[in-house]
Structure 1
């Protein structure tokens, strides 16, 4: 298992080099409401997709015609990657940065293709970008009276 230092993101990027975010996270108001339950990262077909952190592969399959992989991480967060031609199997332990497969060809709303990366803890969708970046902390100083 890897350890995280102060000022480091919790997750590694699933693509190299660091991709452009094509579509950000948009938390749905309810479980069935519209929204975008992850982020879309610019990626060409055939690009290698990497595990964002150590974990256990809990799903490899096809959902809505797209290859998908899900990983349960020690933190309790599940990451999901699609579309992907997986090279891993359910029950396999993976390490941060390990190849999971290749970007599959799939119709996409992104101009040149994109990887959808999702994050979920229990029934709550999380913004993966917050796990991939170091948050900028701004301390507010009180305004004198």
Structure 2
């Protein structure tokens, strides 16, 4: 097997085993809701100030527990316009935000992967009249597709033919 084929096989195995993030490291995030059912996907804006959908909307029911997708510290928990937003700083340039959330932990609270960061609130959100949880992720200040960072997903990587 040539070196290109060996590298392609290794990348494929790595992707199948754990997914790759946009930065090429193993995905470590878990879904903030179980089961995870997306009702609207990420749509990157053409420019940072342009229209787009800077996250994904997950089907939810009022009161569903919202989990931290990775460990970190709650850096914001409070109202933004008409709904409560919770933001978790994961400490590696990655920040997750969720809305609408009820009963968030206090700012400064350390959370581990899977810990509750609140429950889905009854306030109308992105999916009104249906209920959903909006999950946004920023990496180094830029919005990223949460699915690219989700364990077992990651971006599609086309490999060269052997």
Place the TM-score, normalised by the shorter chain, in its bin. Answer: 0.7 to 0.9
Displacement after TM superposition at 1:138 (Å) = 4.1
SS in 2 for 1:129: helix
Do the aligned partners of residues 51 and 137 (structure 1) sit closer, same or farther apart at CA in structure 2, a change above 3 Å counting?
same
Displacement after TM superposition at 1:106 (Å) = 1.9
Give the alignment's TM-score, normalised by structure 2.
0.77
Q: 2:51 matched to 1:31?
A: no
SS in 2 for 1:69: strand
Q: Distance in 2 between matches of 1:95 and 1:88?
A: 13
Q: Distance in 1 between matches of 2:39 and 2:131?
A: 9
Match 1:73 to one of 71, 90, 103:
90
Unaligned runs of 5+ in 1: 1-5
Aligned CA-pair RMSD: 1.7
Deviation beyond 6 Å, 4+ runs, structure 1: none
Aligned to 2:144: 126
Q: Distance in 2 between matches of 1:121 and 1:138?
A: 23
Give the alignment's TM-score, normalised by structure 1.
0.85
Q: Deviations over 1:69-102 (max 9, x none)?
A: 0011032100000000133111111000001111
Unaligned runs of 5+ in 2: 1-13, 19-26
Whose radius of gyration is greater, 1 or 2?
2
Count of residues paired in the alignment: 136
Q: 2:124 matched to 1:107?
A: yes
More strand by share: 1
